[in-house]
Chains A and B, each alone.
Chain A
Amino acid sequence: MSDERFENAKREMEQLVVDSLKNYKAPVGAFFTNLKEATKAIASGAIRWSRKNSLWPMQFGLACCAMELMDFGASRIDAERKGYLLFRGTPRQCDVMIVAGWVTKAVAPEVKRLYEQMAKPRYVIAYGECAVSGGPWWESYNIIKGIDQILPVDVYVAGCPPKPENLFEALMKLQEKVGGKIED
Chain B
Amino acid sequence: MLTKINVGPIHPSTHGVLRLVVTLDGDTIVDVEPHIGFLHRGVEKLAENRMYMQSESYMEKIDYVAPMAYSDLYVAAVEEATGIHPNERAKYVRLILLEFQRIASHLLWLGTFCNDLGLMFTMFTWTLKDRDLILNLLQDVTGSRMFYVNMRLGGVSIDLPPNFEEHANKLLDYLEKRFKEYEAFLEKNPVFIERTKGVGVLKREDAIALGVTGPVLRASGVNFDVRRDYTYYAYEKLHFIPQIQTKGDSFARYKVRMQEMKESIKLIRSALKLIPEGDALGMPIKLISPPVKEKEVIVRRELPRGEGMIFMVTDKQRPYRLSLRTPAFINLSALKQIAKGASYADLFSILGSLDLVMADVDK
CB atoms of A and B under 8 A apart anywhere in the complex? yes
Listed in ascending order, the chain A residues whose CB lies under 8 Å from chain B are 59-60, 62-64, 67-68, 70-71, 74-76, 89, 102, 104, 106-107, 110, 114, 136-137, 139-143, 160-161, 163
Least distance between B134 CB and chain A CB atoms (Å): 13
A142 touches B40 (CB 8 A): yes
A141 touches B57 (CB 8 A): no
Least distance between A16 CB and chain B CB atoms (Å): 54
Q: Compute how far the CA of A29 lies from the CA of B129 in the bound complex, rounded to whole angstroms.
A: 53
CB contacts under 8 Å to A, within B191-216, are none
A141 touches B45 (CB 8 A): yes
Least distance between B357 CB and chain A CB atoms (Å): 10
B128 touches A104 (CB 8 A): no
CB contacts under 8 Å to A, within B109-156, are 124-125, 128-129, 132, 145-147
Chain A positions within 8 Å of B145 at CB level: 163
B58 touches A63 (CB 8 A): no
A139 touches B49 (CB 8 A): yes
B242 in contact (CB, < 8 A): no
Comparing B9-17, B89-97, B338-346, the segment that makes contact with chain A is B9-17
A76-B132 contact given A137-B41, A142-B41, A142-B42, CB 8 Å threshold: yes
Chain A positions within 8 Å of B37 at CB level: 106
Least distance between A14 CB and chain B CB atoms (Å): 55
B261 in contact (CB, < 8 A): no
Number of contacting residues on B, CB 8 A? 28
Chain B positions within 8 Å of A71 at CB level: 128, 132
Least distance between B123 CB and chain A CB atoms (Å): 12
Pull 24 A–B residue pairs with CB atoms less than 8 Å apart, ordered by A. Answer: A59-B12, A60-B10, A62-B17, A63-B16, A63-B61, A64-B61, A64-B147, A64-B359, A70-B128, A75-B129, A76-B128, A76-B129, A104-B38, A106-B37, A106-B40, A107-B9, A107-B39, A114-B10, A136-B61, A137-B46, A139-B46, A140-B46, A141-B45, A143-B41
A64-B64 contact given A76-B129, A104-B38, CB 8 Å threshold: yes
A102 touches B64 (CB 8 A): no
Q: Compute how far the CA of A10 lies from the CA of B172 in the bound complex, rounded to whole angstroms.
A: 78
Least distance between A74 CB and chain B CB atoms (Å): 4
Q: Compute how far the CA of A104 lies from the CA of B16 in the bound complex, rounded to whole angstroms.
A: 13
B58 touches A136 (CB 8 A): yes
B65 in contact (CB, < 8 A): yes
Q: In the complex, what residue of chain B is closest to A107 when comparing beta carbons? A: B38
Q: In the complex, what residue of chain B is closest to A59 when comparing beta carbons? A: B12
Least distance between B60 CB and chain A CB atoms (Å): 9
Least distance between B35 CB and chain A CB atoms (Å): 9
Q: Compute how far the CA of A107 lies from the CA of B40 in the bound complex, rounded to whole angstroms.
A: 10
Chain A positions within 8 Å of B146 at CB level: 64, 67-68, 161
B12 touches A89 (CB 8 A): yes
Residues 9-41 of chain B, each 1 if its beta carbon lies under 8 Å from chain A, else 0: 110100011000000000000000000011111
Chain B positions within 8 Å of A107 at CB level: 9, 17, 38-39
